[in-house]
Amino acid sequence: MSNGNFEHRLDALGRSLASGHDGPMPPALHEALGAKTAALRARRIGLAAILFMMFVIVVLALPRRGVKDEGAILDDLESIRRAVAPVWREQVKDNSGAAGSHAKNQSEASAPRAGDRGQGEAAPGAGK
Amino acid sequence: MNNTSDHDLLRLMHRGDHAAARELWSRLGGRLTALAASMLRHSAGASLGPDVVQGVFLKVLGRPARELKSIIDVAAWLTTLVRREAIDTRRRFDRGRAGPGAVMANIGHDAGAASADAELLSALDTLEEHQRELIQLKHVAGLTFDQMALVLEENRDTLASRYRVALQRLREVMSGRESAARAGVGRSS
CB hemisphere CA count around B48 (13 angstroms): 21
Last residue of a domain, one of B116, B144, B159: B116
Q: Is residue B81 domain-shared with residue B4, that is, in the same domain?
A: yes
Of the candidates A18, A19, A21, which has its C-beta nearest B50's C-beta? A21
Distance of residue A24 Cα from the nearest chain B Cα, in angstroms: 7
Average pLDDT over residues A14-32: 86
Question: Using 50, 70 and 90 to split pLDDT, how confident is the model at A105?
Answer: low
Could you give the CA distance from residue B144 to residue B158 in angstroms, rounded to a whole number?
14
Last residue of a domain, one of B74, B100, B116: B116
Q: Do B142 and A14 touch (CB under 8 A)?
A: yes
Contacts of B170 in chain A (CB under 8 A): 6
Could you give the CA distance from residue B48 to residue A26 in angstroms, rounded to a whole number?
14
More reliable by pLDDT, B69 or B182? B69
| 3-state class percentages of chain A: helix first, strand second, coil last, to nearest 5 | 85, 0, 15
A109 pLDDT more than 80: no
Of the candidates A3, A25, A40, which has its C-beta nearest B167's C-beta? A3
Average pLDDT over residues A97-125: 52
Task: Give the structural domain span for B146.
Answer: 117-189
Last residue of a domain, one of B116, B140, B170: B116
Percentage of chain B beyond pLDDT 70 is 83
pTM of the model: 0.67
More reliable by pLDDT, A32 or B3? A32
Q: Do A6 and B170 touch (CB under 8 A)?
A: yes
Average pLDDT over residues A17-40: 88
More reliable by pLDDT, A73 or A43? A43
Average pLDDT over residues B61-65: 90
pLDDT digits 0-9 by tens, A63-81:
666 666 777 777 878 888 8
Closest residue in A to B58 (Cα–Cα):
A29
More reliable by pLDDT, A84 or B27? B27
Q: Is residue B150 domain-shared with residue B181, that is, in the same domain?
A: yes
Cβ(B71)–Cβ(B9) under 8 Å? no
Q: Is residue B77 domain-shared with residue B161, that is, in the same domain?
A: no
CB of B49 within 8 Å of a chain A CB? The answer is yes
Q: Do B25 and A30 touch (CB under 8 A)?
A: no
Label residues B143-175 b or e (16+ Cβ within 10 Å = b).
bebebbbbbbeeeeeebeebbeebbebbbebbe
Q: Residue A55, class by beta-carbon neighbours within 10 Å (0-12 exposed, 13-18 middle, 19+ buried)?
A: exposed
Contacts of B33 in chain A (CB under 8 A): 18, 21
> So what's the pLDDT on residue B177?
78
Domain count along chain B:
2
B16 pLDDT more than 70: yes
A52 pLDDT more than 70: yes
B24 pLDDT more than 90: yes
Alpha-carbon dihedral sign for residues B115, B120, B126, B128: negative
More reliable by pLDDT, B99 or A108? A108
Kindly provide the ipTM of the predicted complex, given to two decimals: 0.74
B107 pLDDT more than 50: no
Q: Is residue B111 domain-shared with residue B131, that is, in the same domain?
A: no
Q: Do A36 and B31 touch (CB under 8 A)?
A: no
CB of A6 within 8 Å of a chain B CB? The answer is yes
CATH number at residue B103: 1.10.1740
CB of A16 within 8 Å of a chain B CB? The answer is yes
Cβ(B56)–Cβ(B78) under 8 Å? yes
